[in-house]
Amino acid sequence: MIIVAPALLLITATIFCLFPPRRINYWYGYRTSYSMQNQEIWDYANKTAANYFFLFSLILLFIDLILMLLINDDELGLIISLFA
């Protein structure tokens, strides 16, 4: 069950990599005041952000898989209840 969040992040990152925003907008993409200055900066910032998003999603998924193998369900439930 804990693997759902990293999997959703990975799916979102994949969509962001495959369908980057083409034009500067206020709804979709890596939006900062600097990245929205012109189209060239916008394209570079969104490409870089998508790549990092994908990379960190993979890392998080890998860490979760390792934790699932190392920690049994009872201990995992206790750990989650402590932080929830």
Q: How far is CA 55 from CA 25, 37, 63, 65, in A?
A: 24, 26, 12, 15
* The overall pTM is greater than 0.85: no
pLDDT at 63: 87
Using one digit for the tens of pLDDT, what is the confidence trace for 32-74? 989 999 999 999 999 999 999 999 999 998 988 887 777 766 6
pLDDT at 69: 78
pLDDT at 14: 94
pLDDT at 40: 95
Burial class (CB in 10 A: 0-12, 13-18, 19+), 47: middle
